Amino acid sequence: MIEFINVDKVYQNNVKALQNINLQIDKGEFVAVIGLSGAGKSTLIRCINRMHDISQGQLIVDGVEVGKLKGKEVRKFRRRIGMIFQSFNLITRTTVLNNVLVSFVPELSYIRKLTGFFSKEHKIKALTALDQVGILDKAYVRVDQLSGGQQQRVALARTLAQNPDIILADEPIASLDPVTSKQVMDDFQRINREMGISVIMNIHHVEVALEYAERIIGVREGQVVFDGKAAEVTAEILDYIYKGKAEEILENLEGEEAYV
């Protein structure tokens, strides 16, 4: 489904974020991308839905060369890819249901966009998505009255409502406590297994990545230095990915029983 072929990404300040990336991610995989801050994890993920343009090489998603898309083609392409952010990106002063309905705005007519009118079908899809992440009972509650974990579930429901083929998650549990993080990760895992949606996640918590993901991609200084099954990850591999700081990173996670 997703293929990187000799992909480089260089920012305007000449910083090389990605170097010679060659990856193939198949439909239905649960992939965690790990590495130090600034290693290129977020850039790698954000190239997939063209939030960032690549500088060189080819990026192909389901037979479509992403870099060649223009205008409306890009917007149509992005409808197939859900994006979950650390900061939730919700409208906090309105209801949970309204936040999920936002996912349908691109397909509304001009008049409906002006009036904010959504069809019965849209509302059923939104409520179904909320049910899938276990917060249907919060549909008419204002977002600013929810916990951080509940807000992240609203963001996930909004993504599910657009019926994506792929979900990209950029540090989705970074601002959550361990218990809430486990609940959110359980949601991702269940959606991946039951709905067959590919999940590619940039994640700081190494132990969580190893527990939930089937495949680990280790990124160091913009290069893929490990690509394999989670069960194959050793202390030595982690030490190389994290430049000798793996032990320190793992120690920081000790005592967080929700991750064990």
User: What residue spans of 20-119 are helical by DSSP H?
Assistant: 41-48, 72-78, 96-101, 110-115
Q: Would you state the structure tokens that stand for residue 194, as one six-digit string?
A: 């039951």
Q: Check the CA dihedral 162-166-167-168 and report its sign.
A: negative
pLDDT in tens, 64-116: 999 999 988 998 898 899 999 888 889 889 999 999 998 887 665 445 544 56
Residue in the structure block whose two tokens are 């192909």: 60
* 108 occurs within a structural domain: yes
Percent of the chain with pLDDT over 90: 72
pLDDT in tens, 185-228: 999 999 999 999 999 999 989 999 999 999 999 999 999 999 99
Which residue segment(s) compose the domain that 98 sits in? 87-163
* 148 occurs within a structural domain: yes
Query: In the predicted model, what is the mean pLDDT of residues 147-173?
Result: 93
Sheet containing strand 64-65, strands side by side = 16-25, 2-10, 56-61, 64-65
DSSP string covering 158-174:
HHHHT--SEEEEESTTT
* 37 occurs within a structural domain: no
pLDDT of amino acid 31: 98
Kindly state the helix (H) or strand (E) to which residue 38 belongs, with its residue range: none
Buried-state track 3-25, b at ≥16 Cβ within 10 A, e below 16: bbeebebeeeeeeebbbebebeb
Given a cut of 90, is residue 29 above it in pLDDT?
Answer: yes
Q: Say if strands 223-229 and 198-202 run parallel, antiparallel, or are unpaired.
A: unpaired
Q: How many domains does the chain have?
A: 1
pLDDT of amino acid 254: 52
Residue in the structure block whose two tokens are 């480089």: 8
* 114 occurs within a structural domain: yes
Closest to 161 (Cα-Cα) out of 108, 99, 86, 90: 99
* 231 occurs within a structural domain: no
pLDDT of amino acid 76: 87
pTM for the structure as a whole = 0.87
Kindly state the helix (H) or strand (E) to which residue 58 belongs, with its residue range: strand 56-61
Given a cut of 90, is residue 127 above it in pLDDT?
Answer: yes
pLDDT of amino acid 128: 95
* 42 occurs within a structural domain: no
* 95 occurs within a structural domain: yes
* 219 occurs within a structural domain: no
Average of per-residue pLDDT values in the chain: 89
